[in-house]
Amino acid sequence: MIKKRFYKVVLFSIACMMFLKIWQSKQINTLSPEYMQQYDGSTDTLGSAPYRDVTSREHVPSDSVQMFKEESSKSCVKRFPKAIIPGVAKCGTFALLYFLRKHPQIAARVLTDKEPNFFSRRGSYHERYNELFEFLSEINPEERLLNITSQQWNYSNENGNFKRPSDLDLYREIMPCSYSNQITMEKSPTYFLSKFAAERIKALDANIKLIFIVKEPVERILSHIAMFNDLGKNDSNLSVENTVFAKSADRSNKTVDGDATVITISDYQLHIRSWLDHFRREQILFIDGDEMVRYPLGELKKVEQFLDIKPFFNRSMFKYNESKGKYCFVNGKDSESECLRKGKGREHPKINAETRKLLQEYFAPKNEQFFRLVNRTFDW
């Protein structure tokens, strides 16, 4: 009699456990899609403030569900970057990402004139959001995962049939699709100068990897002026001296204009502090932009090691182009070399020896501070 009761209790317990597992499975299958649908601007804490400052991680759970699905499949999907090149402008950010995208384990957003600048955007949430949607309009509809039409966009506030995705959704959407064994990357040199980009990026991913490329400050300035001249933003009659020295009635008194944009950007120690405050030093890699021009292979191998990806680049992949004065990529023995687009490798404006010396003296103490901060010395 006691044995029969014991068996009944055991069987009843097993039945209860089986029922509980089935019920939990149905709950997960029922709730997960609804939960993911809630990931829009109305429920995302990151989007509740007018300026949409990224200071919360409350968006992560829904994204984690998506990532779980992504990792279990072999499909090409949109992902947030796991590595970013935040600068420095006119130091070779485009060239660096252009070469890196050749690596089979890197999915890089590079073949476009526009940069996301997502974490350095100012203005109201509405303005920033619409700028991201403009990016979205440039993506081939066949490559989109967010199937948004202009009609849905224009009338989304007038009916309840369509919910606008959050700005984080749009940011992810403008990334290239990637597989689970690839690292998504983007570059936006405006991040380096931003007072809040480092904090925002950390809020999105505290373990993200950052790659800064820097050049000798005076060479960076000359590259910047060359770009301005080429784009017609500078008076072609202006010399380098007119650009870098403060205006003075006494022309013999040449003082470097520390407030000039081209000068400020080259003051690396001024801007790197925020990044070192928010990220561990092992999360940051500094690439020598001057060495990248002389021979890119060595710098690209450093990136491979830093990102912990398989070795891919080798000596046969790079061929020097005399007319551009830069290395181009060669994919196979019989392949034509792929060079950087027009506008890269501009001829630098002439600078006299006195001006160069004054600029080098101005940056010398600032460079020393930068070297101490990053615990690395460059040949400047």
Assign residue 267 the CATH number of its domain.
3.40.50.300
pLDDT at 72: 36
pLDDT at 69 over 80: no
Q: Comparing C-alpha atoms, which of 302, 280, 291, 264 is closest to residue 375?
A: 280
Instruction: Say yes or no: 92 and 196 in one domain.
Output: yes
Instruction: Say yes or no: 245 and 274 in one domain.
Output: yes
Q: Using CA atoms, how far apart are residues 324 and 339, in angstroms rounded to an integer?
A: 9
Encoded tokens for 77: 């999907």
Residue 269 lies in a domain: yes
pLDDT at 206 over 70: yes
Instruction: Say yes or no: 210 and 132 in one domain.
Output: no
pLDDT at 163: 58
Instruction: Say yes or no: 272 and 336 in one domain.
Output: yes
Element (H, E) at 197: helix 197-204
Q: What pTM was estimated for this model as a whole?
A: 0.74
Number of folded domains that form the chain? 2
pLDDT at 236: 59
Instruction: Say yes or no: 350 and 294 in one domain.
Output: yes
Instruction: Say yes or no: 126 and 274 in one domain.
Output: no
Lowest mean pLDDT among 178-182, 251-255, 359-363: 251-255
Helix axis angle, 268-278 relative to 353-374, nearest 10°? Answer: 20
What residue has token string 């480092």?
Answer: 198
Residue range 73-97: average pLDDT?
92
Say which DSSP state 206 is in: T
Q: How confident is the model at residue 50 (pLDDT cuts 50, 70, 90)?
A: very low
Lowest mean pLDDT among 147-156, 226-235, 269-278: 147-156
164 vs 167: which has the higher pLDDT: 167
Say what percent of the chain tops pLDDT 90.
49
**pLDDT, mean over the chain:** 77
Residue 141 lies in a domain: yes
pLDDT at 143 over 70: no
pLDDT at 25 over 80: no
What residue has token string 């020598």?
Answer: 288
pLDDT at 45: 26
If you average pLDDT over each of 147-151, 167-171, 340-344, 376-380, which comes out highest?
A: 376-380
Instruction: Say yes or no: 154 and 272 in one domain.
Output: no
- Residue 245 pairs in a beta bridge with 256
Lowest mean pLDDT among 115-129, 193-207, 215-229, 289-303: 115-129
Among the three residues 126, 146, 173, which one is the final residue of a domain in this structure?
Answer: 173
pLDDT at 57 over 50: no
Among the three residues 137, 154, 173, which one is the final residue of a domain in this structure?
Answer: 173
Helix axis angle, 93-100 relative to 296-307, nearest 10°? Answer: 70
Say what percent of the chain tops pLDDT 70.
64
pLDDT at 118 over 80: yes
Residue 3 lies in a domain: no
Phi, psi of 283 (to 5 degrees): -90, -5
pLDDT at 199 over 90: yes
**What is the signed CA dihedral for 324, 326, 331, 332, rounded to 10 degrees?**
90
pLDDT at 11 over 80: no
Q: Comparing C-alpha atoms, which of 193, 175, 176 is closest to residue 91?
A: 193
Instruction: Say yes or no: 305 and 264 in one domain.
Output: yes
Encoded tokens for 341: 């687009």
Residue 219 lies in a domain: yes
Residue 234 lies in a domain: yes
Q: Comparing C-alpha atoms, which of 131, 128, 168 is closest to residue 146?
A: 168
Residue range 186-205: average pLDDT?
95
Residue 58 lies in a domain: no
Phi, psi of 83 (to 5 degrees): -150, 140
Report the first-to-last Cα separation within the chain, whole angstroms.
92
Among the three residues 173, 197, 215, which one is the final residue of a domain in this structure?
Answer: 173
* Full residue range of the structural domain in which residue 153 is found: 117-173
Residue range 136-161: average pLDDT?
54
Residue 63 lies in a domain: no
Structural contact between residues 134 and 173, judged by C-beta atoms closer than 8 angstroms: no
Residue range 315-330: average pLDDT?
90
Burial 108-129, CB ≥16 within 10 A → b, else e: bbbeeeebbbbbbbeeebeebb
One-letter amino acid for residue 87 of the chain: G
Instruction: Say yes or no: 92 and 239 in one domain.
Output: yes
Instruction: Say yes or no: 337 and 195 in one domain.
Output: yes
Residue range 225-229: average pLDDT?
81
Structural contact between residues 73 and 67, judged by C-beta atoms closer than 8 angstroms: no
Q: Using CA atoms, how far apart are residues 230 and 225, in angstroms rounded to an integer?
A: 9
Residue range 161-187: average pLDDT?
84
SS3 113: coil
Q: How confident is the model at residue 146 (pLDDT cuts 50, 70, 90)?
A: low
Instruction: Say yes or no: 253 and 312 in one domain.
Output: yes
Residue 30 lies in a domain: no
Structural contact between residues 207 and 283, judged by C-beta atoms closer than 8 angstroms: yes
- Residue 338 pairs in a beta bridge with 329
Instruction: Say yes or no: 301 and 354 in one domain.
Output: yes
pLDDT at 114: 79
Q: Comparing C-alpha atoms, which of 233, 240, 235 is closest to residue 218?
A: 240
